[in-house]
Structure 1
Amino acid sequence: MTTAEAIQVPAVPDDIARQIVLPEGHRDDVPLFAAYRWLRENNPLGRVEVEGYDPVWLVSKHADVMEIERQPDLFTSGGADPGSHNPILQNQAGDAFTRSLLGGSLRVLDAVTYLDPPEHTAVRGIATDWFRPANLKKWEDTIRGLAREAIGKSLHSGANDLDLVGDFALGFPLHVVMSLFGVPESDEPRMMALTQDFFGTADPDARRADVEELTPEAAARQWKAAIDDFYAYFDVLVEDRRKSPRDDLATIIACAKQENGEYYPKTFAYGWFVAIATAGHDTTSSTLSGTIEQLALHPELLTKVQQNPQLLPDLVNEGLRWSSPVKQFTRRATRDCTLRGRRISEGDRLMLLYQSANRDADVFDDPDTFRIERRPNRHIAFGYGPHMCIGQHLSKLELRVMLEELLPRIRSVEITGERRVVQTNFVGGLRKLPVRLELSS
């Protein structure tokens, strides 16, 4: 933080603000990334007002995102005052609708996303040890078997014409997460539908049949409907694990107890299950499809990593930087402060643009080029600070194992049709990518 006087910078043009704030601005990532670049080069911390949304500061630089993320006491997720702030940017009508359902609160889930320390620390601690690399190591063989199974189900030797996203990339991470939960495979289609409902609230292609089209609060209504459906399913899971504990992640979460020895309220278990089933699935599938798309566009990179498998961890990291499937979270200033010479007032909201931060030329050489051998690769695709994604090591493990199993068999991969991107300003990536994938036997 500095106490510098406010500096003179160009105002953020309305078209740039709308491109970044509105979900429809994310339908085409070429102008989106051009808008990010304009911000970084001209007004890296710019306050904008887009009709229908609260005024918000657009935080586009890597260093500023880290500065905010490391100070949850100054830049809150809303935990201590859940009616004051939504860490996931919605329009004003959506927030108003959410408050009307929750008695004035915007805390849709009792999940770490909505919490601040010390509550965040305690709830995150429920599963911290399970997600450590040392524990995940014992699941690697299971995950490898699931990767081979996914390849065998979706692909065959020779030419495969398919939608890389819907026919392949979406299924594997969900199957891994559900297997670790102990959820029956027969229930996975239901979980898949709900995860798409959850993250597709602003995408016409993912609208639920029971949600009105184009109403201002439609996104919030779909969000709440998906959460209610998740709760109904996971309540059965919580009850089962409390009665009959097993050696699985669901048992650890369902049977977690507070300091007083009592179980956490069920809503905290639901929050964990929803967070892992959605973010733990969709972000990994978006990164997998985005990485393979780059290998299709740059076949020399595919050859390089096939000849040198030791590059696979680097490929995973670059895929995460490039895709950055979590596009934003917002924070609220708890008191007046100064950031990058700009005066931030108590109550101001800040939109952390992770995709932009991961293309910051101050941190990444040639940031708009996909480079496997990028070292160091200081991407913040998993966030930073206390809110850094607890599932990052599992996601990296899934991606590495799948690529270890798939890439040696690829003879060629060619994009054969028009790509489509999920219309969302929150979490998403490719929705559709037609490819011809030729595999060896």
Structure 2
Amino acid sequence: MTAPARHWYPEEADDWGELQARQAKVLPDLVRRLRDRSQLYAERLADTDPDGVDELARLQDLPFTTKDDLRAGQAQRVTGAILGRQQAVDTEQIEQVISSSGTTGTPVYFGLTRADREAWTDAIGAFYSTAGLGPGSVAGLSTGMPMVAGGIPYADGIRRTGAALVWFGGQTTPRMVGTLERLRVDTLVATASFVAMFADRVEEVLGRPARELGVRTIVSGGEPGMGLPEVRAGVMDKWGATRISEVMGLGDVLPGIWAECEAGAGMHFTPVRDVLVELVDPDSGAQLAWEDGASGELVYTTIRREATPVLRFRSRDHAVVTGMGCACGRRTPRIRCVGRTDDMLIYKAMNVFPSAIREVALGAAGGAVHEVVRIRKASAEQVRFDDPIPLEVQATKPLDDAALADLRARIEGAVRERLRVRVAVEFVPPGTFAITGDKNSIVYVAG
């Protein structure tokens, strides 16, 4: 199949197995470089013959890298390496430093050489192009922190598509709304929780619905939420949008990795020149075949990154493959992220992702509750629940006791029916959950 002109990389239309086989040809050089240049990998790869790692299956012989490994490597001061044991180039070659959001612990910092920064910009351009941006788009970026992966790298990638960048995040709400209106932003780039709540703030500030502003494309990532049809429909109605593209990335690897095309039904893998991705069983670590309906954890290897490369990085993101072909002509896998493998809760004998609870609750509420929810634990370490899981939600408008009781019953019933677990819905006062541009759709509180 010939790749249509709208594909960023011609390889997106290649057979997936053949594409991964070509990517694997760089593994011997990568392993050799990591062994020789990065203290983090020198010990791990000391007994590895780089020339023996020449195909995807041989990656299974190598150890995983975890976020804790990266944190520990940066906790140690290394002479001549500002980024610790992971760093694989001289510090004078580093042109920019990027930070993780720190939502799962202490932030990790990543370096970019000039070549890294150019590769990132092009790959994130592919990511946003897949999601619908291009010449003529006026794209509003809601991120408030330039240093995080969704800051400067996203801004650079948006510009690379040819879109006009309107970086309006980090200001007061009235000024953000005014910027959106005055510059006629037609594409909104934001987290799932921000997108829905910001529509309400637009109406409060302007006195008219957000759908009248002209935002017609919404690119949403950073957290689960846009995979549920009811949530997507509600957001599209609020904004009058004609397209929602769910996206996903991570700074440990590349800020833009998965993006939904115009056909929808899952996010395509987009950095075909920069990242090799495996699907593995989260328990055994064994590689799984990429095929419709397969599910597992996403594991990444950066095949071109110079400053802070990663080998077999465990993302802890649990994905379901929704397709291996698409009407758009791409043959890269399409997925939905259904939760994090290290974030699983257990209700009696049933495992459940918190993100699944949130999505079902929002779908059952039909826009009547805030997009942020809070799961209350007896302690920060609690995973197992023998009683219904306490789920704190906030109504989007004042409701009387009868309406609250009906809403509680709808949410609890939907979660029980679809997930086979029980939750106990508790309503929190208005204003408890504030609007932000951060990844905060699921909050945990002990006590």
Normalised by the shorter chain, which TM-score bucket? under 0.3
Q: Name the structure, 1 or 2, with higher relative contact order (CA <8 Å, separation 6+).
A: 1
TM norm structure 2: 0.26
TM norm structure 1: 0.27
Whichever structure has more strand as a proportion of its residues is 2
Whichever structure has more helix as a proportion of its residues is 1
